[in-house]
Every structure is written in C-alpha cells, then in structure tokens.
Amino acid sequence: MMVIDITNLKNIAIEFGCKFVENASMKDYTTFKTGGNCPLLISPNSVSALSEILKECNNSNIPYTTLGNGSNVLVSDDGIDGIVIHIADDLNKITLLDETTIFCEAGVKLGTLCNFASENSLTGLEFAFGIPGSVGGAVFMNAGAYGGEMKDVVTKVYHVDKAGNEGLISGDNLAFGYRTSAYEHNGYIITGIELSLTKGNQAEIKEKMAELLGKRKDKQPLEYPSAGSTFKRPEGYFAGALIEECGLKGNQLGGARVSEKHAGFIINYDNATSTDILNLIDFVKETVENEKGVLLTPEVRILR
C-alpha cells in the first residue's frame, strides 16, 4: 500500500463541511459487503468542494477512486490504494428545468429520480426503477434494464475533470455503449445530469414501475448481498442461461455462491471475501469457456 498524506484533503473537507471517514471499511460502502479499507473516504457536498479536492489530488499526486452507491463494484480485500471520492447523498438536488427536462445531481439514487419523474407525470425512466445505483454510477455504466438504458434519456452530463475544472459533455460525445460511456475512459467525476423525458399518464407510469420492481423481486436474489449481474451479456447469449446450462447454480467457493435463483448473480452467501468472489468469477468464466466456447466478461468493476 502506498503512503499518502491526507492532511490537506481533511482540511478541505473540514473547510467545506464535507463528511469524511479515515480508514474507511469498503464493506460499508458496497452492496457486495466485502473489501478492505481505504485511508480516506470523502463525500463532497458541492461541486466547488469536489473541485478543490481534485485540485489537491492533482497537485499532490494522490490517486482517487470514484464511488457512487457501490452497487457495481468489487473492492479488493487489500483495500484501495489512494482516496475514495464518494458521490452520494450529499449531492442530492433534483429540479424540473421545464415541462419535460429534469436536472439531477449525481448522488441522487436512481429510485428517487424515478419517483420524481413519476410525480411529475414524466415517462421514459420506468426501466431504471429498482436498479440500486446513484445517478452518477448509472450514467458511467449506462445502466439499463427491460429494454431501456440511461442513454435513451440523458442529454447532458456535468463533471469535474482530474485537474478540478468543471465541464460538461452532451449528445454523441457521451459515447454511450453497452454498459459504458465516455466517463469510463476520461476519469472525470460526474456531478449532475440533464434528462429529457415525455409527458405521460401518471397511473400508467406508476403501474409500469411497480410491475418491473415485481419482476426483479421474483427473479433476483435480492435477499443476499451482490452487485447484480456479474457478467455482461455476451452477444447472442444470456450469461445466466450459459452458467445454468453448465450446472453451476449453487456452486460455492468460500462464502461466494452462484445464486440458485438467478445463475447470472454471484452472491455473498456466507461472509464471503472479495477473493472468494474473484475466484468464483474465474471458475465460472473458465467453465463456461471450456464447455460452451463463450468468453464471459465481468460487468462488475474491480477496484483496488
């Protein structure tokens, strides 16, 4: 582990009134509930605070990892080298800019944004109801479900770059693809987005949201910690079906298990470590490649 001097960062956090935790356990910040510690986790409460934090990281060569709701990450048991910038509850504004356009800060939970859209009778975001991420994480990943993706509704994304400068990316420059966006490559931190939705019927919107949530509860092992689908959908196949056909449902290494309810999910069944989960990911990949000739790629992002 590299040794970093966090004194200036703590002072910035105190000056701006941002929450911070020293030697934070990543188990408390990830839905897998695994992983080691990081020397400092800061939750910026404004874009200007974030900008100062990034300037200090840039000037003092301190590596940073961005974390949203931690619902698509697996943190190494050795922890994270560098600080974690946690974009969560403290960046939480949502406003209606006009009849069909919403501005939303990156720390807002997707579910909260979906409810805001439905309260304003706006349709187009129902697909996202039940995805347990932050708005920033959902844009970074171009999260999607049931035929919809963030790219269908997001028009502008506001960020702070590595040097602490504010900026925005819009339209095609967002480079959305299957579970990817421009932010996967530029390392900037998303602070807010604009979404363009359509006026709809509130009862129908609510009904759709409830229907999709019901499907999740029926099909997904929500009673166990996980990071959702472990693997990306390989072209022409479904990862879960391939894994099931290889007889891997219920397969367990250490405390990590291939869910019996949905083979596409690896779950933290019994006090798993991140190493258990990584070993099971490798085992599943190897088995599916040997038996089916299909290479699975993790959707879950490994942080170290």
Classify 198 in phi/psi space as left (phi over 0), alpha (psi -120 to 50) or beta: beta
| Contact status, residue 140 vs residue 190, Cβ threshold 8 Å | yes
Of residues 123 and 268, the one with the C-beta less far from ligand FAD: 268
∠ CA 156-134-238, rounded to 5°: 95
> Does 179 participate in catalysis according to the annotation?
yes
**What's 137-202 look like in SS3?**
HHHHHCCEECCEEHHHCEEEEEEECCCCCEEEEEHHHHCCECCECCHHHHCCEEEEEEEECEECCH
Contact segment (CB under 6 A) with ligand FAD among 203-211, 223-231, 246-254, 271-279 equals 223-231
CB of 56 to ligand FAD, least distance (A): 18
Interaction of residue 226 with ligand FAD, rule CB under 6 A: yes
Of residues 25 and 287, the one with the C-beta less far from ligand FAD: 25
Q: How many residues at the interface with ligand FAD, by CB under 6 A? A: 32
* Residue ranges in 117-156 that form contacts with ligand FAD under rule CB under 6 A: 131-134, 136-138, 140-141, 143-145
Q: Residue 192's Cα: distance from chain center in Å?
A: 15
CB of 133 to ligand FAD, least distance (A): 2
Q: Residue 182's Cα: distance from chain center in Å?
A: 15
Of residues 121 and 277, the one with the C-beta less far from ligand FAD: 277
Catalytic residue (choose from 56, 118, 121, 179): 179
Alpha carbon distance 92, 72 (integer Å):
20
**What phi and psi, each to the nearest 5 degrees, are found at residue 145?**
-170, 155
Handedness of CA 75, 64, 45, 72 (dihedral sign): negative
CB of 136 to ligand FAD, least distance (A): 2
Interaction of residue 181 with ligand FAD, rule CB under 6 A: no
* Residue ranges in 21-40 that form contacts with ligand FAD under rule CB under 6 A: 31
> Does 260 participate in catalysis according to the annotation?
no
* Residue ranges in 186-205 that form contacts with ligand FAD under rule CB under 6 A: 189-190
Residue 133's nearest CA partner among 108, 105, 158, 159 is 108
* Residue ranges in 43-82 that form contacts with ligand FAD under rule CB under 6 A: 66-73
> Does 299 participate in catalysis according to the annotation?
yes
Please give the helix or strand (H or E) that residue 38 lies within, else none.
Answer: strand 37-43
Tell me, residue by residue from 77 to 116, as one string, x for binding to ligand FAD by CB under 6 A and - for no binding.
----------x------------------x----------
Alpha carbon distance 234, 242 (integer Å):
10
Catalytic residue (choose from 43, 71, 134, 229): 229
Which residues are catalytic, by number?
A: 179, 229, 299
Which residues in this chain contact ligand FAD in the complex, by CB under 6 A? Answer: 31, 66-73, 87, 106, 131-134, 136-138, 140-141, 143-145, 183, 189-190, 220, 222, 226-228, 301
